[in-house]
Every structure is written in C-alpha cells, then in structure tokens.
Amino acid sequence: MQALRQEGTESADALICSVSEATAVCAPTRIYEQPLSIPMYNATGQPAFPISRALLGQTGVLAVKDLRGVPVIAGYTPVGDFGLGLVAKTDVSTLYAPLREQLHLLALLVVGLVAAGTWALRSRVKPLLKTVVKEQQRVRTILDTSSDAFIAIDTEGRISDWNKEATRLFGWQESQALGRPLVELIIPPPHRAAHTANFAEFIRSGVGPVVNRRTEITGWHRDGYEIPVELSISSVETPAGHVANAFVRDIRERKAAQTRLEVSEGRLRAITDNLPVMISYIDRHERLQFLNRTFEQWTGIAVSGALGKPLLDVLGDDLYSQRAAHLQRALGGERIEFEVESQALGVQRYLQTVYVPDMETVDQAAGVYTLTTDVTALRLAERRMADLALSDSLTGLANRRRFDESLPEALARARRNRTGLALMFLDIDHFKGINDTFGHDAGDRVLVAFSGRLLASVRETDLVARFAGDEFVVLLEGLRAVEECEAVAQKFVLEARQVTHVDGEDLSVTTSIGIAYLSATGKSEPQRLLKLADQALYETKAKGRNGFTCRQDASAAKAAPSPHGWATLR
C-alpha cells in the first residue's frame, strides 16, 4: 500500500481550467509548468479531452492518453459554479495492475485530488486563471481587430484558431473552420500535395520553406477562386510536436496596384522608346538608372549593359568631360541647358541637352532627369543658311556682307601681329559687251570661270569675294612687303587671259586691278582702305586696263603710289 501511494503520487497530476470560446485555458501543473490552451472539441465536434467534459458540466472517469501521449486514468468534474473544470489523473502504468484489486483506492485518490484541487483553486489557481483568461481575452481582441488574418494549426494540420479577418479573407465562419484540415479550406487544389508533405516535416522539425519569413503565395477562397496573399508563419514546440501560427495578409489591392504600375510603366517605356530624343535618369552618385532605346541607337551601347553603371564608365573620358560640369550644377539643384558636339558610331551630332534636378529635399537632389535632342539637322540648316547669307549664289565666293564682316577683323589681326595687308579691287574688262553679244548665260559662265582662276591664284587663308556684277575683291593678310601683293596681282592678270569656251566660242578676257597696301606699321580704317583700292582701280582703267595699280596707305605719310605704281601686260 505504501508503494502504491508513492508511485501514485509521482505519476498523479491535477488540471484546473476555464473556457474561452472554443479553448480550455489551464493553469500550470506539476507536469505542465506553463499555462496551457487546449482545444475543446475534435474534428467531429465532440469533446476532445476529459477537461472538455468537465467544462461542459459532466463528471466521470476515462482511460485516455494525455497531452504527452501517455495512457492515463482521468477523473473529471466541474467545480461548483465557478465556471471551472477539474481533472485528476494518474498513469495507467502505475495504477493498472493494482486497480484490479484495489478499485476503492482510486476512488479515494480521486476524492483526495478533488479536495486538494478545490483548495488550490480557492487559494492560488483561481487568481492565476483570471490573469490567464484576461490575457487570452486581450490577445483575442487584438487578433479580431487585426488587419491580417490569423490562423493557428495544431499538430494534425487542423485549424485551432481563426479570427474575423480570416473569415473575411477566405469566406469561412470561425465555427466552420475550427477543427477542419487547413489544406482543405485555404490551399489551392494544385498545391495541396506539396503542402501536406511539407507540413509533415514541419510537425517533426518546426522548419519549412515558409517558416519565419514573409512569402507571397496563393490562397483559396470558399467560393472557389484564388487569392494572392502574403504569409508569415512561426512555429511553437509542444509535447505532441510543432504547431503553427500564421498571419496572412490580403495583397489583392497591392497586386492590382503593381499591375497598374507595370502597365503604366510599359506604356511609358513604349512612348519613351519611340521618341526621337534620348531620355535618362542619373542618380546622385552619377549612375545611370534609366535609359530609353534612343541611347542604344545613338551610342551602340546596350541599355542593359549601361544601367546601374557610372556615367564616366559608360561614356568614356571625352564624352563625359563635355557633360561633367553641367551635371554637377544640376545635382546642386540648377536646371541646366547646354549644347555639345559629340561623335559616336562614326556619326557627328549636335546634341541639345536639358538637365532637370530631382529634388529630394529643398537642398538635396536625388538625381537628374535628362532630355537630349539631336539638333544636327537644324544646326546644319542654320549653317547652310548662314553660308547662303554670306556667299554668292552664282560663284560660291564670299559675298559683300561676308567681306564687310571680315575686313575689320583682318585689320585688327594685322595690327596685333604687326604684318602687312593688301586689299585688291578687280573687275572684268568690257564685261558688258560679253553680256550684250552672247547673253547673260554666257556672261554667268565667264564669271564662274573667272572666280575659279582667282581662287587658284591666292592662298586658302586669303579671302576672295564678289561684290556685284563683274566686281571682285581679294583680301591678302600676313604680308611682309608690298611686292608680295603685286606678285599676286601680276599672276592673276596672266591667269585671267585664259580662254573660256562659251557656246562654241573661245572668249579671252582681261582684268583691271586696284590695290590698297597697308604696311605693318600703318594704321587705317576699312572705309579709307576701300576708297584707296577703288582709286587705284580707276587709275588702272584710265591707263588702258589689263593691269594693276598699287597704292600704299601708311600712318606716317599721305597715301602714295607704289614705286612700281602701274603695271600692264600687253
């Protein structure tokens, strides 16, 4: 009898619990050192444990397995009107044999344990249970007001907790979900086999592909359609294995927003890729974060190979140096516009670029938006227009406007470089007779041929211009002596005589030239030099044409004829 008492004491335990919704909330015991939460019902809706029967107001004795999985003899009974239940149990291995002979000992033991439990309830357990119940209620309030669905799963894969958001998300009421296998309620049919296999491993080890991490998966609604959700699972180890607590977030709105954003970005990409401009975004570290297809077309560099890389590495030193100072100003908060001439893939382009700072704060730019337009055609057209405005349409020589702009510049260079300069006036002798006899088309061909010979007689740096009709002017710079300009004039008098073929006729023309020479020490104004050259031309004509007259303009003396004065070639 003494041995029986000792063994019964070692294996016996008492459990005091209250009920909260479908869960029994139990105080710590000798065997279970932490408060317990035990499901009231099994999958068939029947009381799951002796404590469930006690809390339902029943009294009796059962041979069952306890939470450890150990066979026990359990006596259960409600405790007065406290809303509590009491279970007293002992292991079958301890009592099974003796109980066959000493059944009255079991009754005495149960009565003693009930008495002890009642005393413990009144003195210590009841306040603890109130605290546990209060905490359970607080947690339940939090879960029921959570914007995430909360689902608890026991070791058999059945649902043991289900909050209001879970009902809204999946369509099952709490009473319909509790005790049901999770896999049947919210796992899409194609994924159920994989879930079952993974859950078996989870029960054993507490680990799995979705444990302790946020994962986007697909859930299954009661009405038979899939729901995109974000899942976070934690595991809790119990004597029977690991159980799972899952928070599930409805991400349908987020997915819809992502889809709208992707569609919008796709449209934007389609638009930017088909614009005839280069669009990019450069962050504060000068890394390329966005490029449209025009970048690849202009540079030959794949967009995928350039994104995320520093601008310097992508463009190289030469192209980067054209933009570096402007980029720094833009990153400092300025809106910058500039134009550069760049070459890539063997193509020379004039590029007009706008840098717009992306201001993260009042004084801090997160990066720079760039818009680059190819203005090559416009600049070339402007250049052609400028050339036309400064060129003679018949001969291609500079016109009078170009000459009027160039003469003051040439005089300034002559003073700065302390070199001589000569201005030559020329016309074709008796040109009116050519027009009257052979017509204006023939006269035009003579002018073109005369222009070509004139260009061939001077240096590339010398300016040759057509004033009007058969009047031409030549500006010679960098002269050291008057003899140099006279040699040019003499050469051209001979060149002008070459025969020109017009409509089967061989025409030979002559020219008269007037030269105004300004020495390296001389000073003169454009109009004075023009007047001096014009006077020299008329002197040549007065002396019989087909030659040249040179007059010098020196700051220390009045304009005077050159020592050679007049030259004619017959």
Q: pLDDT tens digits for 290-324?
A: 999 999 989 888 999 999 999 999 988 988 999 99
The pLDDT value recorded for residue 427 is: 93
Extract the tokens encoding 349: 């382009």
Count, in order, helices (H) and strands (E) of the chain: 20, 24
Closest CA to 540 of 429, 464, 436: 429
Across all residues in the chain, what is the average pLDDT? 85
Domain 2-144 part of CATH 3.30.450: yes
Task: Round to whole Å and give the CA distance between 410 and 372.
Answer: 38
* Global pTM value: 0.48
- Equal CATH topology for 149-250 and 390-568: no
Note the pLDDT of residue 237.
83
pLDDT at 565: 47
CATH number for the domain running over 149-250: 3.30.450.20
Least confident of 22-36, 184-198, 328-342, 521-535: 22-36
Q: Position of tokens 């057509």? A: 466
Q: Which of 412, 418, 407, 431 is nearest to 532 (CA)?
A: 407
**What is the sign of the dihedral through the CA atoms of 262, 264, 265 and 270?**
positive
Per domain, the residue ranges of the chain are: 2-144, 149-250, 277-378, 390-568
- 227-268: pLDDT as tens digits: 999 998 888 888 878 888 999 999 999 999 998 998 988 888
CA-based Rg of the chain, rounded to a whole angstrom?
A: 53
Residue of 131 and 463 predicted with greater confidence? 463
pLDDT at 351: 93
- The residue to which tokens 């699972």 are assigned: 233
Cβ–Cβ under 8 Å, residues 170 and 222? yes
Q: What is the reported pLDDT for 271? A: 85
Strands 84-91 and 226-238 turn out to be unpaired
Strand partners, 473: 425, 465
pLDDT digit string, tens, across residues 109-123: 655 665 665 665 566
The angle at the Cα of 420, spanning 419 to 426, to the nearest 5 degrees, equals 145
Helix ranges (H only) for 27-87 are 50-55
The tokens describing 161, both together, are 């907790």
What SS3 class is residue 356?
A: strand
Which residue stretches of 212-348 are H helix? 252-273, 293-299, 303-306, 311-315, 317-331
CB hemisphere CA count around 420 (13 angstroms): 18
Compute how many other C-beta atoms are within 10 angstroms of the C-beta atom of residue 14: 20
Mean pLDDT of 435-456: 90
Q: Per-residue pLDDT tens for 493-543?
A: 998 888 788 777 888 889 999 999 999 888 888 999 999 999 999 999 999
Spatial separation of the C-alpha atoms in residues 570 and 547, rounded to whole Å: 9
Rounded Cα distance between 437 and 509, Å, is 14
Nearest one of 93, 80, 159 to 119, comparing CA atoms? 80
Indicate the CATH number of 277-378 among 3.40.50.1110, 3.40.50.410, 3.30.450.20, 3.40.50.2300. 3.30.450.20
Q: How far apart are CA 198 and CA 206, in angstroms?
A: 10
Which residues, 6+ apart, have CB-to-CB distance to 27 below 8 Å?
A: 15, 16, 17, 35, 125, 128, 129, 132
Q: Give the residue ranges of DSSP H helices in 457-515.
A: 482-496
User: Starting from the edge strand earliest in sequence, which strands make up the sheet with 463-468, in order?
Assistant: 463-468, 471-479, 420-428, 511-518, 547-554, 557-568
d(CA 565, CA 103): 158
pLDDT at 560 over 60: no
Using an 8 Å Cβ cutoff, are 426 and 513 in contact?
Answer: yes
For domain 390-568, give the CATH number.
3.30.70.270
- Residue 47 DSSP label: B
Distance CA 426, CA 472 (A): 5
Is residue 177 pLDDT above 90, yes or no? yes
pLDDT exceeds cutoff 90 at 28: no
By percentage, how much of the chain surpasses pLDDT 70? 88
CA dist list (Å): 199 to 177, 190, 205, 246:
18, 16, 10, 13
DSSP-derived secondary structure letter, 546: S
Q: What is the pLDDT of residue 482?
A: 93
Largest CA distance in the chain: 165
Q: Which two tokens stand for residue 529?
A: 């030099």
How does strand 13-20 pair with strand 84-91? antiparallel
Averaged pLDDT for residues 268-280: 87
Residue 353 binned pLDDT confidence (cut-offs 50, 70, 90): very high
The DSSP symbol for 398 reads B
pLDDT, residue 212, reads 82
Specify the pLDDT at position 558. Answer: 44
CB atoms within 10 A of CB 442: 17
Token readout for 388 is 């036309």
